[in-house]
Amino acid sequence: MFEIEPAHLVRILDLLGTIVFGISGGVLAIRKKLDMFGVIVLALCAGLAGGVFRDLVIGASPPKAFQHGEFAFAAMSGGLLAFFALPLFSKLERPIFILDAMGLGLFAVSGCSIALSAGLAPMASIVLGVISAIGGGIVRDVLVGRVPVVFITGDIYAFAALGGASLYFGLLKLEISELIASILAVLFVFFLRVFSVRFKWKAPTSPWQ
Q: At a CB cut-off of 8 Å and minimum separation 6, what does 144 contact?
A: 28, 29, 32, 34, 42
Asked whether 150 and 137 are in contact (CB, 8 A), the reply is: yes
In the complex, minimum distance from the CB of residue 76 to a copy of itself, in angstroms, rounded to a whole number: 9
Asked if 44 interacts with a copy of itself (CB under 8 A), we say yes
Distance (Å, whole) CA 135 – CA 128? 9
Under the binding rule (CB under 8 A), the answer on residue 66 touching a copy of itself is yes
Q: Which of 13, 34, 106, 133 binds a copy of itself (CB under 8 A)?
A: 34
CA-based angle 148:56:40, to the nearest 5? 50
**Of the two residues 195 and 202, which places its CB atom closer to a copy of itself in the complex?**
202
Instruction: Convert residues 126-145 into a mask of x (bound to a copy of itself by CB under 8 A) and - (unbound).
Output: -xx---------x---xxxx
Candidates 9, 5, 136; CA nearest to 78 is: 136
Is residue 200 involved in binding a copy of itself (CB under 8 A)? Answer: no
Residue 94 engages a copy of itself in binding (rule: CB under 8 A):
no
In angstroms, give the least distance from the CB of 52 to a copy of itself: 7
Scanning 16-24, 105-113, 169-177, 201-209 for contacts with a copy of itself by CB under 8 A, the matching segment is 201-209
Residue 68 DSSP symbol: S
How far is Cα 107 from Cα 114, in angstroms, rounded to an integer? 10
Q: How far is CA 82 from CA 29, 75, 132, in A?
A: 9, 11, 23
| Contact between 163 and a copy of itself per CB under 8 A | no
Q: Kindly report the number of other CB atoms within 10 A of residue 159's CB atom.
A: 20
Does the protein bind a copy of itself through residue 84 (CB under 8 A)? yes
Nearer to a copy of itself, 75 or 109 (CB): 75
Q: How far is the CB of 15 from a copy of itself (least distance, A)?
A: 15
Asked if residue 209 binds a copy of itself (CB under 8 A), the reply is yes
Q: What are phi and psi of 115, to 5 degrees?
A: -65, -40
Q: Say whether residue 86 binds a copy of itself (CB under 8 A).
A: yes
Cis peptide before 95 (omega within 30 of 0): no
Residues that bind a copy of itself (CB under 8 A): 29-30, 32-39, 41-42, 44, 52, 56-59, 61-63, 65-69, 72-73, 82-87, 118-124, 127-128, 138, 142-148, 150-154, 157-159, 162, 202-209
